[in-house]
Structure 1
Amino acid sequence: MSSPGQPQRRATLKLVAESLGVSITTVSNAFSRPDQLSEALRERVLAEAARLGLSSPDAAARSLRLGRPASVGVMYTDRLSFAFSDPGAVLFLQGVSRVCEENGQELVLIPSTSAADAAATAVGRSMIDGLIVYSVADDDPVLAAAADRRMPLVVVDQPRISTLPWIGVDDEAGCRAIAQHLIGLGHRRLAVLSTEIDRERRGGRVTVARQQAITFATTAARLRGYRTAAEDAGINWSTVPVVETRENSEANGYQATAALLRSKQRPTAVLAMTDQLAFGALRAAAKAGLSVPEDLSVAGFDDIPAARVEPYLTTVAQPHEEKGRRAAEHLLAQLTDRSAPPRQQQLKTTLRLRETTGTAHPTPT
């Protein structure tokens, strides 16, 4: 098995045929005329082609005819509908798709839910020439599967590997800044709504010990930012409840916040790792009869369009669409020149102070 960043050798029909001891026609038929082969033989050919990193013959033919790669894949470990319902993902894919349109590329979405092996298989079988890996866990097998394909790839957000091209933001600095803002307003009872801790997505309270074993780099960086600001202000981090949500949705943010607001010492401020979770927190506050920001301050991360509509959300802005555009541009540069060194680019975040954060007031104990 290859490792990410390893020098690549372009696979061909001939190479696959020689490896299996079959004819080139047999390999071609496995892709274009599957009815000509037994199911077992076709599976052998496809598996070996994936192992050697062969794009489909159709894709390769289009590449030669057009003078550019035929298709770009975007791999993300979530449901297909995530690409169309999550506001941040929508903006990111807009950036990717615009570059693909400008360069005559096809765009292939490769979703996967909880089955990591299925995700790796999907990458191995997809008819793509390059891959954008969008925010996966450090231990996700998708990267190894892409390396086995020997195809150019770019990682967006997580994980960050020195030998691979990467596009992302300084999540830790952004979260440290927004936590410092709340602490500066006098808030000492903080609570955190966290994105996934690991691929199990168990949900619920996250102990300090488990916080040390996070396998999603973005979650870990944002939590470090919050914790650094809190501890610098003399707040005992073990007293700050951190709640993992199973997915990035308003509904999950609502459920988590509703439980926090029922606690004996309810927080005066909620730090949500995404705007979607923050919107859920706002709804939970309203349901509990609390005013924002008088009774509860809420801060998000992302600055999606809905954050700029009343109630105007205090948040950390990150350039989702620009990330998508830069990722696609980096990938196309690799496809043009395989010898190009991996580029890593960290984009800026901006603190947006709006209506959902205010001065802390005493709360019932």
Structure 2
Amino acid sequence: MAKKPSLKSVALAAGVSPSTVSNAYNRPEQMSAQVREHVLDVAARLGYPGPDASASSLRSGHTGSVGVLFAQDLTYAFSDPYLLELLTGIAEVATKTSTNVLLMPVGPHSASGAYSRQEELDLVQNVRRAVLDGAIADGVDPTHPVLRVLAARGVPVVSTMAGVGDRCVLVDDHAAAVEVGVHLAGLGHHRVAVVAVVADSLDDGEPRIVPDDAPHLFPYARLRIAGFREGLGPGCELTTVSAGQNTLDSGSRATETILASGRRPTAILATSDVLALGVIDTLRSRGVTIGREVSVTGFDDIPQARDAGLTTVRQPVREKGRLMVEMLRDPAAGGTTATLGTELVVRASTGPAV
């Protein structure tokens, strides 16, 4: 079997030093175009693919890659409007800075915070062997073992949650939800249901009435629920329903659970726009007039929210993604915590309680 060509064999064949061959691939500005073309022609003739990326990263301490960790499966990342917007912001900075982006679904967190040894090994396998300069964590619970692995490896993490990783880019979920609650209280709503996203896919996914702080809800969902309750005031009747993943179907099935539970609420608050759109679909299928018989709110202000006339909280999702990459690339410039502003956008889906 023929010996594979190496950097040294290319240098010998081209009549240049090994460092010149390396520069032809990694630092072309340090040589003339003529020399570089000569080296690359010789490399192509010998079948040399270029310097080994992992070896180069070990020498330089940089890989040119960041991982994006999220607590859902990979196909979900391409169907969730929020995640798509976040990834767009990440990609904008990554493209400008020639940074590679590795999508890394890391599975659910455990509601109890406990995993079997095999579960933990399965969850962290890809992250343990990935070559990264840093990681972006969206919706990854603080108890997730993948965060311990990254910390042990010295890989910096920027998160969308406080208390996760080295730095974070946040919106004030609680304060934004308080504003929603105050808006609805001003319209006379006191009997309210909340439809919330579930983080733990080990849950059976069936919608059910749960406590506001149920551990299998996403942490940001718990913050929003607490804000809704505070804004609505002490006289409110608030029921929380865990909906499953952030899909239209989850919102629809949670609405069926709410309607079957007894008295219909005058308002249904969803912890995301996608869930809210599922709520609207089911209510309309029942002949309910949105904004008059039942008010509905969401969170995120995805493009579909505007088309549906949904009252929601606008958060700068794309800017969040951009800033997270910038924090990884230049920690000194971004600081350790950034809190982005939100805006309550009132549309036709909310009106006076009846």
Same fold (TM over 0.5): yes
Matched, 1:225 2:218: no
CA deviations 1:192-248 (Å, max 9, x no partner) are: 00112656434433443x726467421221111012123x2422xxx4221111100
Paired amino acid for 1:319: P
Matched, 1:318 2:315: yes
Q: CA deviation at 1:308?
A: 1.3
Matched, 1:348 2:341: yes
CA distance in 1 between partners of 2:309 and 2:273 (Å): 11
| Distance change >3 Å, CA 162–CA 139, structure 1 → 2 | closer
Matched, 1:92 2:76: no
- SS at the partner of 1:295? coil
Match of 2:167 in 1: 165
Q: CA deviation at 1:68?
A: 5.9
Instruction: State the identity %.
Output: 34
Match of 1:252 in 2: 250
CA distance in 2 between partners of 1:303 and 1:194 (Å): 16
| Distance change >3 Å, CA 352–CA 87, structure 1 → 2 | same
Q: CA deviation at 1:252?
A: 0.4
Q: CA deviation at 1:120?
A: 1.6
CA distance in 1 between partners of 2:58 and 2:98 (Å): 11
Contact 2:78 2:84 in 1 (8 A): yes
CA distance in 2 between partners of 1:107 and 1:289 (Å): 45
Matched, 1:118 2:122: yes
RMSD: 2.5
- SS at the partner of 2:78? helix
CA deviations 1:274-320 (Å, max 9, x no partner) are: 000000010011111111111111000000111111x2110001111
CA distance in 1 between partners of 2:107 and 2:127 (Å): 14
CA distance in 1 between partners of 2:285 and 2:165 (Å): 48
Contact 1:112 1:118 in 2 (8 A): no
Match of 1:234 in 2: 235
Segments of 5+ residues of structure 2 without an aligned counterpart are 1-51, 109-118
Matches within 5 A, 1:255-270: 255-270=253-268
| Distance change >3 Å, CA 121–CA 201, structure 1 → 2 | same
Match of 1:205 in 2: 208
Question: Aligned match of 1:327 in 324, 329, 338?
Answer: 324
Contact 1:292 1:298 in 2 (8 A): yes
| Distance change >3 Å, CA 212–CA 253, structure 1 → 2 | closer
Contact 1:205 1:241 in 2 (8 A): no
Q: CA deviation at 1:323?
A: 0.5
Find runs of 4+ consecutive structure 1 residues off by over 6 angstroms: none
What TM-score comes out, normalization by structure 1 length?
0.74
CA distance in 1 between partners of 2:121 and 2:140 (Å): 14
Match of 1:289 in 2: 287
CA distance in 1 between partners of 2:239 and 2:215 (Å): 17
Match of 1:150 in 2: 154
- SS at the partner of 2:319? helix
CA distance in 1 between partners of 2:106 and 2:330 (Å): 27
| Distance change >3 Å, CA 321–CA 64, structure 1 → 2 | farther
Match of 1:187 in 2: 189
Match of 2:53 in 1: 58
Question: Aligned match of 2:96 in 102, 106, 110?
Answer: 102
CA distance in 2 between partners of 1:357 and 1:341 (Å): 38
Larger mean Cα displacement after TM superposition, 214-223 or 199-208: 199-208
Question: How many equivalent pairs are there?
Answer: 293
Segments of 5+ residues of structure 1 without an aligned counterpart are 1-56
Larger Rg: 2
Contact 1:312 1:355 in 2 (8 A): yes
Paired amino acid for 2:152: D
Q: CA deviation at 1:162?
A: 7.8
Q: CA deviation at 1:62?
A: 5.6
